[in-house]
A and B are shown apart, each in its own frame.
Chain A
Amino acid sequence: MNPYWLALGVPASAAAAGRAGEGGLAAPLLALGWWSLQFTPWVAQIEDALVLEISASERLFGGRQALVQALLDPVHAPLVAHFAHGATALLALARLRIAPLCTPQALAAPVLAPDDLPVHTLAAAQAHLATLERLGCRTWGQLRALPRGGVARRFGAGMLGALDQAYGTAPETYAWLRLPEVFEASLELAAQVESAPALLFGARRLLAQLQVWLRARQHGVQALELRWQLDARRANAQHHDAHHSGTGIGRLEIRTAQATPDPRHLERLLAERLAHVSLPAPVLVLALRSLQTCALPGQSQSLLPETLHTGDSLQQLLERVAARLGPASVLLAQLQSDHRPECMQHWHSPASAQRPIPTRDAPPAAAALYPSWLLAAPQGLGLTPDGAPLWHGPLALLAGPQRLEQQAWDTGPGVQRDYYIAHSQAHGLLWVYCERLAGAQAPQPQWYLHGVFG
């Protein structure tokens, strides 16, 4: 089968602005190359364009025009590209320079014959354009008609080789593009950035690039590292803090429990984390690297409306709140098998590695007699002259006592607590206890408030 090449280029306006409404990509041509790798393994970058050899995969995608249509898909492709085609890569590239095409229907239109292409479209001839002009040699056909020996002596063997490749008489080999195992991209910022939240604008372009890479690999990201290089001319570029280690490079690590192919959640996490970073010096270069990714299973779509999710997932909520307010502000409850009230439950952060071992026992039926609020630390109560506990007025003891032994293997000498349900005129039912030292005769019992029946 004859080779068939496409040349893809990024229009100047699209490269500058990115797609409408989006921040654009850090390296648009590379992203386009990653996207093209799903159509053919033979993708190479030549100067500022991509060349693709598609003759082997045309049939798989349902013909040449269907393949080009999928390649230029305005919804899924990372950016709007234009293209040209030809029997060799250099021919397609030359046509891209002269008359780029935008729609797959243009494949059927007549194209310029190789002999009529101007010589400036051949990269090897760029250095000799003035000489060729004086010779009156303006097209590929005229150049090819010159004696080969003379051309080789005058312009070097490279010119002949390029011409042979362009006409398909010599094989073409290029440095083929491969999808990297680890995503790594850097971005030189257009201007110095002084505040950390403003780094997000650059990071957004890196994340858009990451999304193209993740889609091509069909992976989701679990851990990411954002690095930035401080301006070394500033005196405090050697600053030390949580994000800077004194080498002039700052770093921030983002982790997520569920691998996600969607950078919007990562972007929100990054924004919350960057809000807590202070930059000691202006930043010139940003870099993003994937630390941990995993393959995503395919998702089947449903047509039923009730299976469509509205809103975020729980995992995203937990991570976002923890990123903004700190991991200690998101807590989940875990029941423990213990008879002491303060040890019956354990509130733990979902992100923390130290998870309590879940108990399989349901709480005892008597737990319905316990209050719905438990004070973090028991609050000492005053006493009336006749010895009754006092809290915003005297307390009437309604039920009790329930004696709970505080002694356990991990605590010191045993303390007994006699729990009562007390009634306060203003606050309703309260859970109070009277502390007694085991064995010893305490001179004066101490009363504490431990819970509120909410």
Chain B
Amino acid sequence: MSALPHLSDLAAAPLDSLRADVWRAASLAPACAETVPTGEALLDAQLPGGGWPRGALTELLQDPGVHAEWRLLLPALAQCGTGPVALVAAPHRPFAPALQAQGLDAQRLLWLCAANASAADALWASEQALRCAAIDAVLAWLPQARPEQLRRLHSAAAEHHKLLFVVRDARAQAQASPAVLRLHIGPDADAALRVHIVKRRGPALQTPLRLAARPAVLLRLLAAHAPLQALSPVPALQPVRQHHTGPAAPPVRRFAA
């Protein structure tokens, strides 16, 4: 008799119990590390482990000029810890009051490479931030990063157990990437967020997800204005009326005398 198990026995064996990084083609991989919930149940259901992987590279791809990363990442960043969140080479000035109102404390924001840093400097600063014990998450805008440089960041994140998000141009989608999770994000109709999971440890997802991913108060404001919107898609030029009696009357603020 052969000592080898029969093929049918092997198929019947619980594959999940063999190794954490082996999974069936039709199902999602088991979580091999700790994950942080994304705050969107629809997205959590599609991600291995039910959230953003800690200690691995997550890549966000966006079309040029689109900046939708905050709405997707804010819930996770707000609850990932109490240490600083490093923003490396951010394309614009982050607006701390709005981020704090959505849960990410302004004291936790650390903006690195704020002034005209080169691509090499941004990579260096990202790696230094990953190697810092106090920092909880690193969010880096690296449009020109090459795969081997991303791999280096990935291993630094794995070594120090950090959340790492790299934001890149959607044109990089054809390139190979060491990221365990790649998402193509962009605005959709009705101010929703379209999330297309390009790469994950699991079966390919053909249809993009549609997420609201907005603070509830903003959604309510937009819903309240929707009837007006239906009447005139592009309002005429005198939108400011002194006797405005709409649902959101213009709050006039003055400097307290």
Residue A303 at the chain B interface, CB threshold 8 Å? no
- Name which of B33-41, B43-51, B169-177, B234-242 contacts chain A: B234-242
Residue A11 at the chain B interface, CB threshold 8 Å? no
Check A428–B68 contact: CB distance below 8 A.
Answer: yes
Tell me the minimal C-beta distance from A168 to chain B in angstroms: 57
Contact A345:B95 (CB < 8 A) given known A325-B117, A398-B191, A454-B71 = yes
Residue A367 at the chain B interface, CB threshold 8 Å? yes
Residue A20 at the chain B interface, CB threshold 8 Å? no
Q: Write the A288-325 contact mask toward B (1 if CB under 8 angstroms, else 0).
A: 00000000000000000000011111101110110011
Q: Cα distance A312–B111 when bound, in Å?
A: 18
Contact A311:B131 (CB < 8 A) given known A372-B98, A398-B229 = yes
Number of interface residues of B (CB under 8 A): 71
Q: Write the B130-164 contact mask toward A (1 if CB under 8 angstroms, else 0).
A: 01111100000000000000000000000010000
Kindly identify, within residues 346 to 384 of chain A, every residue whose CB is under 8 Å from any CB belonging to chain B: 347, 362-376, 384
Check A405–B250 contact: CB distance below 8 A.
Answer: no
Tell me the minimal C-beta distance from A212 to chain B in angstroms: 27
- Name which of B13-21, B100-108, B202-210 contacts chain A: B100-108
Check B217–A333 contact: CB distance below 8 A.
Answer: no
B233 contacts which chain A residues (CB < 8 A)? 396
User: Which residue from chain B places its CB closest to the CB of A389 in the assembled complex?
Assistant: B234
Contact A374:B225 (CB < 8 A) given known A331-B114, A429-B191 = no
Residue B211 at the chain A interface, CB threshold 8 Å? no
Residue A330 at the chain B interface, CB threshold 8 Å? yes
Check B101–A367 contact: CB distance below 8 A.
Answer: yes
Check B65–A426 contact: CB distance below 8 A.
Answer: yes
B236 contacts which chain A residues (CB < 8 A)? 386-387
Residue A421 at the chain B interface, CB threshold 8 Å? yes
Check A396–B114 contact: CB distance below 8 A.
Answer: no
Contact A329:B67 (CB < 8 A) given known A313-B132, A365-B101, A394-B234 = no
Check A332–B110 contact: CB distance below 8 A.
Answer: yes
- Name which of A68-76, A169-177, A225-233, A334-342 contacts chain B: A334-342
Residue B123 at the chain A interface, CB threshold 8 Å? no
Tell me the minimal C-beta distance from B106 to chain A in angstroms: 5
Residue A144 at the chain B interface, CB threshold 8 Å? no
B32 contacts which chain A residues (CB < 8 A)? none
Which interface residue of B98, B117, B160 has the most chain A CB atoms within 10 A? B98
Contact residues of A: prevailing secondary structure = mixed
A384 contacts which chain B residues (CB < 8 A)? 234
Check A333–B106 contact: CB distance below 8 A.
Answer: yes
Contact A363:B239 (CB < 8 A) given known A403-B251, A454-B68 = no
A316 contacts which chain B residues (CB < 8 A)? 132
Check A320–B128 contact: CB distance below 8 A.
Answer: yes
Q: Cα distance A368–B107 when bound, in Å?
A: 17
Check B114–A367 contact: CB distance below 8 A.
Answer: no
Which of under 10, 10 to 19, 20 to 34, or 35 or more describes the interface residues of A? Answer: 35 or more
Tell me the minimal C-beta distance from B219 to chain A in angstroms: 10
B74 contacts which chain A residues (CB < 8 A)? 372
Check A331–B111 contact: CB distance below 8 A.
Answer: yes
Residue B178 at the chain A interface, CB threshold 8 Å? no
- Name which of A113-121, A159-167, A445-453 contacts chain B: A445-453
Q: Cα distance A445–B240 when bound, in Å?
A: 11
Residue B6 at the chain A interface, CB threshold 8 Å? no
Q: Of B66, B97, B113, which one neighbours A345 at CB under 8 angstroms? A: B97
Check B125–A325 contact: CB distance below 8 A.
Answer: yes
Residue A27 at the chain B interface, CB threshold 8 Å? no
Q: Cα distance A452–B93 when bound, in Å?
A: 10
Q: Cα distance A325–B126 when bound, in Å?
A: 13
Tell me the minimal C-beta distance from B126 to chain A in angstroms: 11
Q: Cα distance A335–B115 when bound, in Å?
A: 20
Q: Cα distance A368–B91 when bound, in Å?
A: 21
Which interface residue of B74, B96, B133, B135 has the most chain A CB atoms within 10 A? B96
Residue B23 at the chain A interface, CB threshold 8 Å? no
Kindly identify, within residues 397 to 454 of chain A, every residue whose CB is under 8 Å from any CB belonging to chain B: 397-405, 407-409, 418, 420-421, 423-424, 426-429, 434, 436, 445, 451-454
Residue A344 at the chain B interface, CB threshold 8 Å? yes
Residue A388 at the chain B interface, CB threshold 8 Å? yes
B117 contacts which chain A residues (CB < 8 A)? 325, 329
B251 contacts which chain A residues (CB < 8 A)? 366, 402-403
Q: Cα distance A421–B224 when bound, in Å?
A: 13
Residue B253 at the chain A interface, CB threshold 8 Å? yes
User: Which residue from chain B places its CB closest to the CB of A375 in the assembled complex?
Assistant: B92
Q: Of A310, A326, A386, A453, which one neighbours B71 at CB under 8 angstroms? A: A453
Residue A392 at the chain B interface, CB threshold 8 Å? yes
Tell me the minimal C-beta distance from A315 to chain B in angstroms: 9
Tell me the minimal C-beta distance from B164 to chain A in angstroms: 14
Tell me the minimal C-beta distance from A413 to chain B in angstroms: 14
Residue A198 at the chain B interface, CB threshold 8 Å? no
Check A317–B135 contact: CB distance below 8 A.
Answer: yes
Check A310–B68 contact: CB distance below 8 A.
Answer: no
User: Which residue from chain B places its CB closest to the CB of A367 in the assembled complex?
Assistant: B101
Check A367–B98 contact: CB distance below 8 A.
Answer: yes
Q: Write the B197-236 contact mask toward A (1 if CB under 8 angstroms, else 0).
A: 0000000000000000011011001101100010001111
Contact A321:B112 (CB < 8 A) given known A400-B239, A403-B252, A421-B222 = yes
Residue A328 at the chain B interface, CB threshold 8 Å? yes
Cross-chain pairs A/B with CB under 8 angstroms, 20 sampled: A311-B131, A312-B131, A313-B132, A314-B84, A334-B96, A339-B253, A367-B101, A368-B102, A370-B98, A372-B94, A373-B67, A373-B70, A374-B92, A388-B237, A396-B229, A398-B222, A402-B250, A405-B253, A405-B255, A426-B66
Contacts A399-B225, A403-B240 aside, 6 further interface pairs with beta carbons under 8 A come to A312-B128, A317-B129, A317-B135, A335-B100, A372-B98, A403-B250
B interface residues (Cβ-Cβ under 8 A, vs A): 63, 65-71, 74, 83-84, 91-102, 106-107, 109-115, 117, 121, 124-125, 128-129, 131-135, 160, 186-187, 191, 214-215, 217-218, 221-222, 224-225, 229, 233-237, 239-240, 244, 248, 250-255
